[in-house]
Every structure is written in structure tokens, then in C-alpha cells.
Amino acid sequence: MAIFGGILIVIGIILFFVQKNYSTKLQSIRSATSSTIAELQRIASEIAGEIGSGNLREYVKVRGMIHSDRPLISELKRSPCVYYSMKVFREYEEQYTVRDSDGKSRTEIRRGSETVSSNMQSIPFRLVDSSGELIVNPDGGKIETVQILDEFRSENTNGTSISFGGFTLVLDTGMGGRRTIGYRYTESILPCDREVLVIGTAADEGGKLTLRKPIQSDKKFIISLKSEEELAKSTANAAQSFFYGMIGCLSLGLILVILGLILKR
């Protein structure tokens, strides 16, 4: 009982940090100043006139369309985008031995999977609204994506490599007694020509107006396909759910630990 209570307390502590992260994200959404690109260009020009260019630092939220003259091409589906992440999983079967209460052993088969390859790439892109455009550097951002691929393919286990789109992998011959069933390919992208909400620091370093990751740890860098209202609502709901989960785990865990110690006497 006390051990189970201790496990619940550990889970509660983990949920505390998850809830804190969502609360910080919600605060970031609410505290960022809503701006148009033209307004940021005007502020940058005024600051440059007073103390010189390169001194703009404003935490803002801007909505606009993604444009790129030379977009990335995703590795698996070969789709144009400004960010993609892909993973390839090997799904397998393996035999294992179990013993029952009488000490008799039997062989069973279980399925599992392991990641054999993963990759992620991004490029700066133009964010365009009705008043102008600026550059977004997505490095370090929390990027909402669209999943464009989740496909399982049975593969010839006698083959020496697998391929999908622009991806090729030479297979390891040592599978540790596991029988390969096939491979699952997944890919998500931030596509071109989509409207996004970007929350981050506006800066004019190098003479170019750019949105990038804030230096301050309590300010999040977010690139979302949701509207501001949808993003704030989903974040608030997540923060509330994790808060109640944290309280429940910590309370029940503490009760079980105390009861376990009492009953142990």
C-alpha cells in the first residue's frame, strides 16, 4: 500500500511540472501583445531613429500566412513545407518464456516496436498579413503540425534495405531473435500557404524584422494552426486537467503512504 502511494506521489510530482508548463504557455498566450506586421515595422523604425537599429525586442502575437520561395520537401511524402518531422518504426514479434504458479513454463509471442530512424528539419519562412511581411525563425519553437502520413508496410525480411519517398535505410542484420513484421512510417509537417498564429519575440537584428524564440524562459515560442481563442481554450483545459490529476495523485498517494505506515506497525 505504501509503495503504491509512493508511486502516486511521484506521478503527482511529474504532473505538477506538466501543469506548470501549460500554465506558463497560457500566460504567454495572454501576455503577448497582439500586433500587425505594419505596427511592428513602425515600432522598429521609431526605435531605430532614437537609439539605432537592432534594438527592437517585443513579445508579440502575429497572425499571417506562411510563404516560402524555396520550401523544404518532406522526406517521406515529398510534400512542400517549412518544417517536418518523420519517424520509422520496426514492428516485430518475439518469443518469450513464462512460468505459471505451478512452475510450468510455456512459450508465448508478443509484439513490439522500436524506432529505427527519425529526422526533423525546419527553415525560416515569410509570415504575411494584410499589412506587410516579416521573417519567422522557427528554431526552438513549439510547432503545431499536420500529420500527413501514418502507414504500415510489410517488408521482405530477407531484404537489405527499406525505402519510402526520399528515405532509404540499410537494415541491420542482427535482429536479436525478433521476427520483423514490417515498418511503420509517420510524418508531420507545417505546410506552406497556411494561416498560423506566431507568438514570440520580434527583433530587428541585421536590419530584418524577425520573429524568434524569446530569451526569457518564462515566455514561450509558439507556432500554432489554431486561432488565439482556440489555442488559449485548449491550453487552459489541459492545465486544469493536469492540475486536478496532480491534486488527486498527491492526495491519494499521501493517504496510502500514511495508511501503509500505520498498518505496518
Hey, what's the cell of 71? Answer: 520550401
Beta bridge partners of 121: 84
Cβ atoms 246, 20 nearer than 8 A: no
Express each pLDDT in 25-72 by its tens digit. 999 999 999 999 999 999 998 888 888 777 899 999 999 999 999 999
Identify the pLDDT of residue 164: 93
Identify the pLDDT of residue 74: 97
Average pLDDT over residues 204-229: 93
Express each pLDDT in 155-185 by its tens digit. 765 668 899 999 999 887 666 678 889 999 9
Identify the pLDDT of residue 156: 62
Mean pLDDT score of the chain: 91
Identify the pLDDT of residue 52: 78
Nearest residue to 80 (alpha-carbon basis) of 150, 148, 143? 148
Band (pLDDT 50/70/90 cuts) for residue 5 is: confident
Coil vs helix vs strand at 6 = helix
Amino acid present at 168: T
Identify the pLDDT of residue 262: 82
- What percentage of the chain has pLDDT greater than the value 90? 69
Hey, what's the cell of 203? Answer: 527583433
Indicate if the pLDDT at residue 1 is higher than 60. Answer: yes
How many CB atoms neighbour CB 125 within 10 A? Answer: 25
Identify the pLDDT of residue 157: 54
Beta bridge partners of 107: 97
Cβ atoms 260, 2 nearer than 8 A: yes
- What percentage of the chain has pLDDT greater than the value 70? 97
Coil vs helix vs strand at 180 = strand
Helix (H), strand (E) at residue 50: helix 37-51
Express each pLDDT in 60-104 by its tens digit. 999 999 999 999 999 999 999 999 999 999 999 888 778 777 777
Hey, what's the cell of 37? Answer: 506586421
Higher pLDDT, 4 or 223: 223
- CB-based contacts of 98, cutoff 8 Å, min separation 6: 105, 106, 108
